[in-house]
Structure 1
Amino acid sequence: MALFQAAPALNGVKVVDGPLVTGNPLHEVIFVGYDGSRQGEGDGEAVDLRQEWASIGQKAKDETFTVTCAVVVWSGSTKVRPIRERAFALLAAVEDALRADPSLGLPPPTIVAFVSGSLFQEQPDTGMQARIPFRIAVQTRI
């Protein structure tokens, strides 16, 4: 969250930890630990976690956890292209922030990377919305 909040390219974009607790729509938001779907529509998965032994006898494990996030851009307009383009611009800014600090300030051997995403577009009565749920993988040794 702090990395995205500090990224100059995301200035003015709301960064939220988990789902919103308010009914007020935000025009541009990045969710961390939530897929950005409407309440009750998503499966609510925030993190997927996996561990395996790093080697025999060293009592260390390699851990990978994948954090579900989302970029959501909404407008009262019905124009699709500008909303979709803005959503992908915000996603690119997220990727740039991750590449600029792939350790997230954590000790080595932690590495963080964007791994996947999908675009969902909808035109409800309130205007166009583009939602890009994406996943960030964090690999480290514990």
Structure 2
Amino acid sequence: MSDKSSLPAGWTGTAPDADALFAMAEAALETMPNVFKPHISGVVIGIEEFADDETLASLDIEHPYDLTGLYEGRPLTERSIGESGGMPDRVTLYRIPILVEWIEMGEKLEGLVRHVLIHEFGHHFGFSDDDMHALEDMA
């Protein structure tokens, strides 16, 4: 990769670790429109190397490099006002597939993390893919 401007700040030549990806996700959250922030404040963000075999099978995904992020929970559009309890919603970012896509696409890593995060939060809001693209353009 010859364009050093696409490297993450503080990059030392090794692949950014889970903590670095988490910091990028937190920074991306700050770019979300204020109207959405109260609705995503309780969503847990996690970083894992890859999705496990069970997750991949449940999504009919054959190769672990094909899944960069996953929303687990119940979209806001499917909830009732009287619901309580249960596990918090979760967005998982898969570090290795994100890094592979970063290398292949040559875009800024922070931008890719932001893109994956916004897409997964879109599922939390019950958005269509078109809605998610509009949200990303707003953020």
More strand by share: 1
Bigger CA radius of gyration: 1
TM-score between both structures, scaled by the size of structure 1: 0.28
More helix by share: 2
